[in-house]
Amino acid sequence: MTTDQIIAILVSTVVAATPLIYAALGELVTEKAGVLNLGVEGMMLIGAVAAFAVGLTTGSLALGYLAAIGAGVLMSLIFGFLTITLQTNQVATGLALTLFGVGLSSFAGRPFVGQPITPVPALDLPLLLSDIPLLGPLLFKYNLVVYGSIVLFFAVQWFLTRSHWGLLTRAVGEAPGVAHAIGRPVALVRYAAVMFGGACSGIAGAYLSTALTPMWVESMSSGRGWIALALVVFATWKPLRVLLGAYLFGGVTVLQLYAQGFGLHVPSEFMSMLPYLATIVVLVLICRDGKIILLNQPAALGKPFHPDL
């Protein structure tokens, strides 16, 4: 394996991990507030079709990403209204949201199937940084959305550990009754966390249709929303582990693309299932030690809260 091949694999890993980072970090904040939203896959698909449709018709990818964020937030508000205000079951509502998102995106995206779009361009960095041997291609040849995922990681890390609202979010996820008793707006915090998760899922979907695969294809998320959900558990609700886990799963995804080129005579169907097989294996290994899960999982995760109960 040559140096150029290794660099190509690493670059492809970063690119493949980017939508997972956005979706998983958004879901991490949502779950830190005690809300389990299984509708990530549906929100990603709605974000993908919204970004593609607006970007293609207006010629502005910036407007496309704003549309994806708005669509993700709108979907999350539907989920929030049902689970936070009406107190419906979070698991069942999240699954319904995914089914709704899959169907709606397929219907809305029908006129755009097969149409190409100019992908998000790589940043033109000054001082010829991208021409530096080895480090240039590895660090300085990505688009703004890829760099944004790193910024998002640091922002979420700071928010949850250093900010007042981050502490309040964690308190609501651990003991909403106590937070309400001392006058904290539990419902408002949960709505904000759910909306943030929806926005991040929308960006993740937009990246799929405007950068990773610059076209609209039905169900193009291919289960990435479910992998993002698994990543949060794999990371035991820690942002740094989410980042590292996303790159791990991104590497497994890329492996299936390069294996055939390296002469590995493995059925393509088996290589395609590797990311999902890795997800199952990791979850089994993590869940074998219940102490790890109980130590980091928000105590009120998935539990509805009503101030009168």
Which residues, at least 6 apart from 283, have a Cβ–Cβ distance to it below 8 Å? Answer: 230, 233, 234
Residue-level pLDDT at 269: 66
CA distance readout (Å), 75 to 70, 149, 166: 9, 21, 23
Residues of the chain with pLDDT under 70: 1, 124-136, 259-269, 271-272, 286-295, 308-309
Residue-level pLDDT at 250: 87
Residue-level pLDDT at 108: 93
Residue-level pLDDT at 271: 67
Residue-level pLDDT at 72: 97
Query: Strand pairing partners for 194?
Result: none
Q: What is the pTM of this model?
A: 0.92
pLDDT in tens, 30-54: 999 999 999 999 999 999 999 999 9
Burial grade of 106 (CB within 10 A; 0-12, 13-18, 19 or more): middle
Which value, to the nearest 10 degrees, does the dihedral of the CA atoms of residues 274, 245, 9, 4 take?
-150
Quote the CA–CA distance of 152 and 108 in Å, as a whole number. Answer: 29
Q: What is the CA radius of gyration of the chain?
A: 20
Give the closest residue to 89 by CA, choosing from 78, 79, 98: 79
Residue-level pLDDT at 256: 73
Residue-level pLDDT at 264: 66
Residue-level pLDDT at 236: 87
Residue type, 65: Y
Query: Strand pairing partners for 113?
Result: 216
Domains of the chain: 3-296 (1.10.3470)
CB 145 within 8 A of CB 207: yes
Which residues, at least 6 apart from 134, have a Cβ–Cβ distance to it below 8 Å? Answer: 3, 7
